[in-house]
Amino acid sequence: MCLAIPMQLIERGEWDGTAELRGVQRQVSLMLCPEARPGEYVLVHAGYALATVDEEEARKTLEVLDQVANQGYTPE
């Protein structure tokens, strides 16, 4: 199972950039998502931006991840 986290792209170079989530910044590869622009949200997995998502989708995803982290997860 993979998990991609939405992060906001705050700056970019040709093939990489810096993404931020809650004050934590990470270098990410943009090779798989060359259309991403600063200010947009990207789904990040293993250091790679996989796709862009709108701000609302990023917010909803982070809310669900917070719920799982705070309540634990029990598969059915």
Tens-place pLDDT, residues 6-50 = 999 999 999 999 999 999 999 999 999 999 999 999 999 999 999
- Report residue 3's pLDDT band, with 50, 70 and 90 as the boundaries: confident
Q: What are phi and psi of 60, to 5 degrees?
A: -60, -45
pLDDT for residue 50: 97
Alpha carbons within 13 angstroms on the beta-carbon side of residue 56 total 0
Query: pTM (2 decimals)?
Result: 0.86
Task: List the CATH code of the domain at 5-71.
Answer: 2.30.30.140
CA nearest to 39, candidates 3, 7, 4: 7
Do residues 8 and 18 touch, judged by C-beta distance below 8 A? no
